[in-house]
Structure 1
Amino acid sequence: MTQIVDAPRQQVVKLYGNRLRTRVCGLYRDGDRLLMVRHRGISKTDTFWCPPGGGAQFGETATDALKREFDEETGLIIDVGKLLFVNEFLEPPLHALELFFAVDAIGGELRLGSDPEMDAAGQIISEVRWMTFDEIKAYPPAEVHTLFSRCQSLDDVYRLSGYLN
């Protein structure tokens, strides 16, 4: 198992740790693939795959926050659809209530984005790519978002509803 690189983990804990955050996340599907973002400094290894998203800012609606986060992380302009489910992410020192929405791209070009809260040397977003459900499930559970442990297929992801804890 690869150990966490200290600098990204320290930056994540400094910016997001030891407080409750509200996050918005978008599930963008293309056939049998889901758009995923790889982050450094989140899990016990230097890999954590999850759908694009991030923290809502004070005074920003959830849908506006998701549009901003998608643009920052992926370069895509999206239309936000239905709220699918709420997940409580609790991996101390990180704690977030995550609102998962179905989304569709309406513009932009897919690219590796960045996190504006991080300096250039400390970026935690390291990859953006389409993944099949089998590719997602091939990673160790600690290296993918916990929502995938509740599902046996990509269709199951879209059937999740309510509050997940």
Structure 2
Amino acid sequence: MSTASWKNRIPTVSELRPRPQIAVSAAIFRDRKLLLVRRNRPPANHYWTFPGGRVEYGETLAEALVREVAEETGLVIDIKDMLGWREYLPAKNGGIGHFVILPFAAHWVSGEINLNDELEDARWLDPRAIGDLPLTDRLEEIITVAARLING
């Protein structure tokens, strides 16, 4: 597309009236260890979090979660329960976007970690010993709830 046609294009509805986006994430447990991944792009670049992403139009939350986990990590999961919600507003700090994130607890079923380009690292960790990793907002609370649900 030429510069002239780009400047004269009609804006999309989402550009004219931005709306919150729904995303899902998975607290995945394997042998009592929790998978955390480090993001490699905005939002939350270089922060540790759960794998996940945006829900596509026409997808159920479960379908979106299974798809996103497989795309980002190569893992197959069994979803157990929803853990609440988080809201992420990078626009309040000069970023872009408004995300409502629905985290779920899940068990690892199969596969070995094979990260896509959205992630730069992954670790299976004891949920009680996360240490000083930089985590996305409110993730510690969700980890506590997930560990209690899965590990008792």
Structure 2 unaligned runs (5+)? 1-17
| Partners of 1:33 and 1:131 within 8 A in 2 | yes
In the TM superposition, 1:119-134 aligns within 5 A as 123-133=117-127
Aligned to 1:57: 56
Q: Which has the larger radius of gyration?
A: 2
1:100 match: secondary structure: strand
The answer to whether 1:72 aligns with 2:75 is no
Structure 1 unaligned runs (5+)? 1-17, 115-122, 161-165
CA distance in 2, matches of 1:78, 1:48: 23
Give the superposition deviation at 1:52: 0.7
Normalized against structure 2, the TM-score is what?
Answer: 0.70
1:42 match: secondary structure: coil
Aligned to 2:21: 21
In terms of fraction of residues, the more strand-rich structure is 1
CA distance in 2, matches of 1:96, 1:86: 10
CA distance in 2, matches of 1:66, 1:76: 11
Question: Are the structure 2 counterparts of residues 78 and 90 from structure 1 closer, same or farther at C-alpha, using a change threshold of 3 Å?
Answer: same
Question: Are the structure 2 counterparts of residues 106 and 133 from structure 1 closer, same or farther at C-alpha, using a change threshold of 3 Å?
Answer: closer
Residues 100-157 of structure 1, C-alpha deviation per residue, up to 9 Å, x if partnerless? 1111122222222x2xxxxxxxx33111221334653412xxx311123547xx5x23
The amino acid across from 2:146 in the alignment is Y
CA distance in 1, matches of 2:147, 2:128: 17
Normalized against structure 1, the TM-score is what?
Answer: 0.66
Aligned to 1:12: none
| Partners of 2:77 and 2:106 within 8 A in 1 | yes
Instruction: Give the total of aligned pairs.
Output: 127
Name the Cα RMSD after superposition.
2.5
| Partners of 1:137 and 1:148 within 8 A in 2 | no
